[in-house]
C-alpha cells in the first residue's frame, strides 16, 4: 500500500527533524509543532485509508 509507506516515511521524517536540532532550529519550528506533525499526519493518512476502504463502492 503506497499510502501506508508514505505515512511511515512521513513519520520517520518528522522524527528525524525532531532529533536533528540544528535543522529544527534553522527552520524555526518549535518542538510542539514537530511533535504534532509527527503524530497527526501519519494518523490522518491511515484514517483516510481506512475510510476509503470502508466506503469503497461495491461491484
Domain segments of the chain: what residues? 2-54
Q: Does 54 score more than 70 pLDDT?
A: yes
pLDDT in tens, 5-36: 777 777 777 777 666 677 667 778 787 877 78
Task: Measure Cα distances from 33 to 25, 26, 43, 48, 50 in Å.
Answer: 12, 14, 15, 22, 25
More confident residue, 18 or 55: 55
Q: Per-residue DSSP letters for the chain?
A: -HHHHHHHHHHHHHHHHHH-HHHHHHHT--HHHHHHHHHHHHHHHHHHHHHHHHTPPP-
More confident residue, 19 or 37: 37
More confident residue, 43 or 16: 43
Amino acid at each position: 500500500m503506497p499510502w501506508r509507506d508514505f505515512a511511515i516515511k512521513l513519520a520517520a521524517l518528522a522524527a528525524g527533524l525532531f532529533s536533528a536540532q540544528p535543522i529544527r532550529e534553522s527552520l524555526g519550528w518549535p518542538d510542539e509543532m514537530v511533535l504534532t506533525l509527527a503524530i497527526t499526519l501519519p494518523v490522518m493518512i491511515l484514517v483516510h485509508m481506512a475510510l476509503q476502504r470502508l466506503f469503497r463502492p461495491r461491484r
